[in-house]
């Protein structure tokens, strides 16, 4: 009996016959990456720009929120209030802590009202900063210089100072703050008047 019929082909049963491999249905990740390299880079760039924009916006919004929540402080009223508290302390603080606190009150007023970095300055540096400010240089440089010199002498001297001398220094600080506030207000009013005049002139 014949093993093969006349219409059968023997090589179809030969396992050694090479056949074509089937085409892959899905592509590998590396192939997809190569074919879409520019699209992937563009997407990465957009993502980085979006992240950068988000960080910048968030950074800018935090100080604004914090600033809105902070109460507005009037440098002049705050200074007078702190001077009143210092003057009313019983018993009166020792000379050194008293002078330090008095100087701090005066410097904080100057820093807030006249935008001068006064808190971190030495006495000499403080006077130099004052000399760069037109209003303070013209009206108060000599008085502030005397205040600083007298305060430093009382702070670092081994001599004993009576309450009258401390009171005189406190009065000089209060006088400066009141007079400086008055001059500052006059200057603000003058600038406002000039601005209003220029606005009226330009509108004609």
Predicted confidence (pLDDT) per residue in 141-198, tens digit: 999 999 999 999 988 888 778 889 999 999 999 999 999 999 999 999 988 887 777 7
Distances (CA, A) of 151 to 12, 61, 106, 154, 157: 113, 43, 12, 5, 10
59-96 pLDDT tens trace: 665 554 444 555 588 999 999 999 999 999 988 889 99
- Residue 199 above 70 pLDDT? no
**Confidence band, pLDDT 50/70/90 cuts, at residue 53:** confident
Tokens at residue 127, please? 């006077």
Percentage above 70 pLDDT, the chain: 75
- Find the length of the chain: 204
- Global pTM reads 0.62
CA dihedral sign of residues 23, 25, 29, 35: positive
């Amino acid at each position: 009996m014949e093993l093969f019929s006349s219409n059968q082909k023997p090589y179809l049963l030969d396992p050694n016959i090479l056949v074509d491999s089937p085409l892959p249905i899905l592509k590998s990740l590396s192939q997809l990456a190569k074919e879409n390299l520019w699209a992937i880079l563009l997407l990465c760039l957009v993502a980085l720009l979006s992240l950068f924009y988000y960080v910048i916006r968030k950074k800018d919004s935090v100080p604004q929120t914090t600033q809105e929540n902070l109460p507005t402080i009037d440098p002049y009223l705050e200074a007078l209030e702190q001077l009143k508290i210092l003057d009313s302390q019983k018993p009166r603080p020792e000379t050194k802590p008293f002078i330090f606190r008095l100087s701090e009150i005066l410097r904080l007023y100057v820093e807030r009202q006249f935008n001068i970095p006064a808190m971190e300055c030495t006495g000499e540096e403080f006077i130099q900063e004052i000399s760069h400010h037109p209003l303070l240089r013209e009206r108060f440089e000599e008085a502030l210089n005397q205040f600083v010199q007298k305060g430093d002498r009382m702070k670092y001297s081994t001599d004993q100072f009576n309450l009258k001398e401390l009171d005189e220094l406190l009065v000089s600080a209060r006088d400066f703050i009141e007079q400086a506030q008055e001059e500052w207000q006059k200057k603000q009013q003058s600038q406002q008047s000039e601005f209003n005049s220029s606005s009226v002139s330009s509108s004609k």
